[in-house]
Amino acid sequence: KIQIYQSKYNQKIQNETLQFEKNDENNFEYLAFLKEFSTLIIKNYDLLNVQGLQNMVFLKCLILQNCNLTDNQISILDNPLLCKLEVLDVSHNKISNLEPLIPLQALKTLDISHNQVKSKLQFAFLVYLEHLESLKLHNNPVVLHQSENEEEQLEYHTFLRCIFYGIWMSEESLKFISIHSENNQFEELKAKEMLEMNMYVPNPFVETEEGKQQSIRLEKKIVAINQLLEEAVLKADFAIQQQRQITQSIEVAVQNIHNTQTG
């Protein structure tokens, strides 16, 4: 099967990118054995079989756009082996739970626009993505249902700034966040301004029982993930090395067979 996949899809890889669209392939378990590619694009699927995607430790960019993805399917991303992923686009799906994104600590670009995120508490799961530079949230119920009252909108935007305070102040710095449209660009704020905002913006993670419980669970999960990440990076590097060796061995074997048949 590996040889069949190599023959079928290696030629589709262009500029380290492999793309599938409109249900033209729905078994991705063997993609990890193809020649190395860093970007996988899957778009416009009625029913996507996500099994196997979590094994692609070499991926730096994953786009799963308009594939009817649910919370159950997106849970495959809750895997430290995807620790090298820098770009994730899961826009235009049916996702409401962002917790599976916690292990994706290398993310720089995240697009979760046009989904079903209903609670502000979900944003807590993104706080630890310290390298995040671009975040798209627009067209989610949590955004669409915000009041038209300017004062309440200001409080909501300030709430988001405070939630992502750590990312703004990190070395990488969150440079772009879209809330109501694709073009909302927040100015970078000084630490003093952020701290002043924290003085009057309610913190939902301590005000409600649901928020308290989620905060406790999140802290425990982060501790566990941090313990796994270093090991995961080593495993990812080792897996990539193994895949290269397997690919080279298969190519040599195929070439030998070809030489025997033509010799």
CB of 222 closer than 8 Å to CB of 102: yes
Domain containing 206 equals 2-262
Is the confidence at residue 154, as pLDDT, over 80? no
CATH number where 111 lies: 3.80.10.10
Contacts of 254 (CB under 8 A, 6+ apart): 3
3-state per-residue secondary structure call for 130-162:
CCCCEEECCCCHHHHCCCCCHHHHHHHHHHHHH
Angstrom distance (rounded) from CA 4 to CA 22: 21
- The one-letter code for the residue type at 191 is A
Contacts of 163 (CB under 8 A, 6+ apart): 123, 124, 127
Number of domains in the chain: 1
Is the confidence at residue 111, as pLDDT, over 90? yes
Is the dihedral angle over the CA atoms 95, 31, 221, 223 positive or is it negative? negative
Beta bridge partners of 88: 62, 110
- Of 42 and 215, which is predicted with more confidence? 42
Average pLDDT over residues 80-92: 90
Is the confidence at residue 260, as pLDDT, over 80? no
Q: How confident is residue 221, by pLDDT bands cut at 50, 70 and 90?
A: low
Selection from 178, 111, 99, 167 nearest residue 143 by Cα: 178
Q: Read off the DSSP letter of residue 80.
A: G
**Arithmetic mean of pLDDT over the chain:** 73
Opening angle at CA 90, ends 88 and 92, nearest 5: 150
Is the confidence at residue 71, as pLDDT, over 90? yes
* Chain centroid offset of residue 90 CA: 7
CB of 39 closer than 8 Å to CB of 64: no
Given this model, what pLDDT does residue 202 score? 47
**165-169, 198-202, 204-208: least confidently modelled range:** 198-202
Six-digit token pair at 248? 């080279």
